[in-house]
């Protein structure tokens, strides 16, 4: 089952990154924009910024989703697929996940992963239902003492 990431969250992150990109682009070309007359080079830089922004917006909306399978969850980010097997998940931080609407879980190697919720929280419900190796707080702290919760 294919589930898309919450569009509001995606757009918020996109606009923050886009503003940073704009500031860096225009600061690197500040000498060109200090002149009073606009020329071809200034227009090309602005068109470059607009073109890259549109391409990145379309890619972030179309290539940012989850695929829920029987044995694993696939997180598609751009052209990269990240597979999270349900048997490898040992702890889900329920309080932080529900509060921030970001699925926070730990793998059997002690690595933490953060996945933004979809609109209805389907990935959170699926992970709680299909992850059979979940530990409670005390067991997790005893097994992974170097990991901070």
At residue 113, the pLDDT reads: 93
Q: What is the rounded average pLDDT for all residues in the chain?
A: 89
Give the tokens for residue 106: 């730990």
Residue that has been written with the tokens 């990935």 in this structure? 123
Give the integer Cα–Cα distance in Å for 128 and 132.
8
Range with lowest mean pLDDT among 4-8, 16-20, 39-43, 121-125: 39-43
Tokens 């190796």 found at: 133
Q: Tell me the CA distances in angstroms from 62 to 29, 55, 77, one per residue in order.
A: 31, 11, 10
- Please give the pLDDT value at position 41: 83
Segment 62-108, tens digit of pLDDT: 999 999 999 999 999 989 999 999 999 999 999 888 899 999 999 99
Instruction: Please name which of 90, 85, 99, 89 lies closest in space to residue 135, comparing C-alpha atoms.
Output: 90
pLDDT at res. 40: 85
Backbone angles phi, psi at 80, to 5 degrees: -115, 130
> CA 56, 61, 63, 65: dihedral to nearest 10 degrees?
150
Q: Where are the domains of the chain?
A: 2-62
């Amino acid at each position: 089952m294919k589930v898309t990431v919450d569009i509001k969250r995606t757009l918020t992150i996109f606009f923050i990154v886009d503003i940073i990109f704009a500031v860096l682009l225009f600061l690197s070309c500040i000498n060109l924009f200090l002149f009073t007359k606009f020329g071809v080079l200034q227009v090309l830089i602005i068109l470059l910024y607009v073109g890259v922004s549109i391409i990145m917006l379309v890619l972030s909306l179309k290539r940012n989703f989850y695929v829920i399978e029987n044995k694993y969850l696939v997180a598609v980010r751009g052209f990269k697929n990240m597979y999270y097997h349900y048997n490898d998940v040992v702890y889900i931080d329920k309080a932080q996940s529900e509060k921030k609407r970001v699925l926070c879980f730990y793998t059997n190697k002690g690595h933490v992963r953060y996945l933004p919720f979809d609109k209805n929280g389907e990935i959170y419900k699926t992970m709680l239902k299909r992850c059979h190796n979940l530990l409670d707080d005390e067991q997790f702290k005893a097994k992974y003492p170097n990991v901070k919760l």
